[in-house]
Structure 1
């Protein structure tokens, strides 16, 4: 059995290395030197570089930014303090993995160039062979622990990972739940490789800190680790190339839970890096030049999202969550518009010559850009009826239309999973939702946009929408636009490119509301009136009443 397992792992390693040599997207984004320095200093790598027990690993080294920076520190220690690591120390100091042999070669060459003035060519041959390993870190076995783990784990959409590898990753890493990207697996494995009091420092998207797919990882950290440092790099160019998501530095240690230092939008200088290290090693330090510093004792709790706002905002959210039900508990429902898998095929002009029963008026985010519904003549093709997927032969005009795009439609993942129904949309279209009154909420915006639809359109997948059994939708619109909706979304969502937020169902469902029947009839009438307009200031006054806000909470609302 052991031999079979080893063979299977070997085959997967080979598949991973083939993937590494391919031109497929592998989430390679290289970190800027000043950010690398911040992570190495804050995590203690720089301070403990010459300690005999120091063991460092970088699980996805790319072209070696972190290892090169460490090599430069080794050289600096020699030049300024005449401290030279023995060959044995040096050989045992670092492990660096990557699935790309070309990346490994570049990293080796650059490290050799840095250390060649201290060590001989033969010595460096031994060092580089020991340091750099051309293999899939996630599939590798280890019989040692590490004092420091640093790096920039790959950010790869699960759709681009070879199927067999993805299945193996999910089998091995229990925190890789739902649609978790591969960096979650890197976190899990690295945490398990930390020695007692060891430190992990990663720069990565911050989505997992709040999203559902990060719940397993957050729970693991809460049980056995300590979040030492969170650096919000919103607005910073932390990488050598542009990325769609804003990154953050998370520094996690194998210690008991204590306080967490939270830094927002830092000005990263050498002095700043050293000051951050001092903050982490001296609990009495509570101010920091170069960034807004918040010291928190309550950030990590079970699998709950990590909320990084001010203490006043969090106190307000906590009260609202204690005293009021969720949006859906008050009789509202949150949905996402239908994903088609090919909008160019499925979103068509209303005059397209197919069976009329298969066309439903549709709205996309493009028609909501101005904050109001811009009329359009588009429809979404409905490939479902009351019994499920339609019998295509019963709709000859639609069949002939789809056959024009047969190759495109059959190439979609959904079609490969259900080849008999190669023509169906990814999501089911519900005609009754098109005719229902609803509030339309575009997904990616800097501020919450809420638009009333009287029942004219079926939303496309770039739009979330809310229907209600009890709440008047105009009144609900007034409440959401008063600032309450924005406060909840900002707390639970993460920023992406352009400073935008994700107004997703999982975040919208966090919003707390009073029960409609518990609100004074006069206020209900006024909220309904205001919801037909854009008077957010008047809405704030009424919202402060229905949530029984104190003066501090009113200030947070913007009154």
Structure 2
């Protein structure tokens, strides 16, 4: 029944599959197999390794050599390894090429041709790894380079089948997300998955459910960022990383960043550096001109985006995550929010509309924060909301009614008006009048560096501004902390970086910042943070923040984010 269903699915066009094939260099394959623990000193014949998309056989050639070596070391005949490897590929040409390559490797290793042919035929089969009913379960290893095939290149019926088989493959995810899920679920306890793949899933929205799956039952053992490394047989813009994940509770995690020029000559030194005990989260821990290594006591939890950055920066971020509470905290009454979205700024935002004066709410705009001090530009929100959170009655406000009616064509075209025709004059967001008089730290959405600005009260923020209010913090003290390189390092680790280096300082990223409890900061440090904030002195704010966080020795780790920015923000 299942076979009939699979055979009826529209095939992925061969050109799409071939376009998605990115063949891995042999030294990279060997590094991945070493990191996974698939080494010939182990008795590999009784173990099961899966290669889910074998392509031309880059991984299979290396595995065949290792299986051969292992059989001799452990005094086994080659046919004992007949079921040791399960490789899949969609294309007949790849299956043929991979079988031929395995056979040639084994014959070159001195095994008889009939045995080599039998093993090669048994190892490689044509099939769709995401849907094939014969994919083995309870395996010891899943290794490879899953295909880079975009959703729009997959026929609709097959895509629906993929989504049904792999629930983590949501939104506009690449097919490799499904390969991660299928591989992880097939592992035996203690089994290892090791892929080289684009690392976008670690941070993008479509990778959220995959991250949740991993956090719930797996250990991220190793990540190796290879963005600037010539890891493939042809140039691709894939931002690859090697990820080694074990079916076990989370333990220590080793983080590696390779740099331009890293190659086969560096792999042995990298393996040695990774095995060194007690790597501290500073660059000197395990670093050469072409790579840096740090060991984290555990990986990052949950489905939120995983941070990016150098190993030393990630280790420091994790340490601060363990030691300090998040910025948004009910215990201090501190929360992060966003200003009002209208859906028609040309109507709702004005410098002087002819409406009842009490309907004009002073509005903070991004331009009001440019200097680092709040300087109101005279803009108002034409406010349709009462203090109780209800829309005003236009019958009681003739000037407001006339104003909205003059612009009714624009207002009624909005999606929010279409959903609620009787509320055609509402803004997308309600106005929280209790926020108006509260002091607020304001953050422009898009900046290269973090830019907190104090509104001492009397204004409401526009949608392009995020804000922080607190029941416990002196906002100038908090502003000093958030002006610092420590806060910048948090945002850089989590935020989307746009072209030209611009960061998105959105609520979801601001909430990832960790801060000390306000009462533990000494009077002298509070005064120093206030002074640095008032003077917009990023360097001074960073020096005090390093002391307050107890990480003065790690100044170099965050140097790239703030210390080099000098006095002004």
| TM-score, length-scaled by structure 2 | 0.63
Aligned to 2:186: 193
CA–CA distance in 2 between the matches of 1:506 and 1:229?
Answer: 26
| Contact persistence 2:88–2:129 (CA under 8 A) | no
**Is residue 264 of structure 2 the alignment partner of residue 270 of structure 1?**
yes
Matches within 5 A, 1:349-368: 350=349, 363=365
Counterpart pick for 1:95 among 54, 74, 87? 87
Deviation at 1:263, TM superposition (A): 1.4
For residue 346 of structure 2, what is the aligned residue in structure 1?
348
Does 2:312 correspond to 1:309? Answer: yes
Deviates further, 376-385 or 203-212: 376-385
Judged with a 3 Å threshold, the aligned counterparts in structure 2 of structure 1 residues 201 and 439 are, in CA distance, closer, same or farther, namely same
Q: 2:324–2:515: 8 Å Cα contact kept in structure 1?
A: no
Cα deviation for residue 251 of structure 1 reads 0.7
8 A Cα contact 1:227 1:253, kept in partner: yes
| Contact persistence 1:39–1:201 (CA under 8 A) | yes
Question: Aligned equivalents of 1:314 and 1:265: distance in 2?
Answer: 19
CA–CA distance in structure 2, aligned partners of residues 41 and 304 of structure 1: 28
Following TM superposition, by how much is the alpha carbon of 1:197 offset from its aligned partner in structure 2, in angstroms? 4.6
Q: Which moved more, 1:307-316 or 1:530-539?
A: 307-316
Query: 2:142·2:194 contact (CA, 8 Å) conserved in 1?
Result: yes
Q: Is the contact made by 2:82 and 2:123 (CA closer than 8 Å) also made in structure 1? A: no
Which residue of 223, 228, 232 maps to 2:225? 232
- Secondary structure of 1:484's counterpart equals helix
SS at match of 2:127: strand
How many pairs does the alignment contain? 516
Instruction: Report 1:54-133 matches (<5 A).
Output: 55-59=48-52, 61=53, 67-73=56-62, 93-96=85-88, 104=91, 107-108=94-95, 111=98, 127=121, 130-133=124-127
The reply on whether 1:329 has 2:341 as its aligned counterpart is no
Check conservation: 2:189, 2:247, Cα contact below 8 A.
Answer: yes
Taking the aligned partners of 1:272 and 1:295, their CA distance within structure 2 comes to 19
Aligned to 1:293: 293
The equivalent of 2:443 in structure 1 is 441
The 8 Å contact of residues 57 and 146 in structure 1, kept in 2 or not, is answered as yes
Q: Is the 8 A contact 1:346 1:380 kept in 2?
A: no
**Aligned ranges 1:141-540 → 2 under 5 Å:** 142-152=135-145, 186-195=179-188, 197-202=190-195, 203-205=197-199, 208=202, 216-221=212-217, 225-233=218-226, 240-242=235-237, 247-254=240-247, 259-266=252-259, 267-276=261-270, 290-296=290-296, 298-300=297-299, 303=302, 308-309=311-312, 313=316, 317=320, 320-321=323-324, 329-336=331-338, 346-348=344-346, 350=349, 363=365, 386-387=389-390, 395-401=404-410, 428-430=429-431, 432=433, 437-442=439-444, 447-453=449-455, 458-460=461-463, 464-489=466-491, 503-514=505-516, 524=526, 527-540=529-542
CA deviation after TM superposition for structure 1 residue 523, in Å: 5.9
Q: Which has the higher contact order (CA 8 A, sep 6+)?
A: 1
What stretches of structure 2 of length at least 5 have no aligned partner? 108-112, 280-284, 395-400, 564-569
Q: How has the CA–CA distance of structure 1 residues 44 and 529 changed in structure 2, closer, same or farther, with 3 Å as cutoff?
A: closer
Q: Confirm or deny: 8 A CA contact 2:130 2:165 kept in the other structure.
A: no
- How far is 1:449 from its partner? 3.1
Answer whether contact 2:230 2:263 (CA < 8 A) is retained. no
Provide the C-alpha distance between the structure 2 equivalents of 1:141 and 1:253, rounded to a whole number of angstroms: 22
d(CA) in 1 for partners of 2:150 and 2:353? 36
2:461 touches 2:467 (CA, 8 Å); kept in 1? Answer: no
How far, CA to CA, are the matches of 1:28 and 1:370 in structure 2? 48
C-alpha contact 1:175 1:185 (8 A) present in aligned 2: yes
Secondary structure (helix, strand or coil) at the match of 2:536 reads coil
* CA distance in 1 between partners of 2:245 and 2:431 (Å): 45
Question: Distance between the aligned counterparts of 2:210 and 2:95, measured in 1?
Answer: 34
Give the 3-state SS of the residue equivalent to 1:201 in structure 2: strand
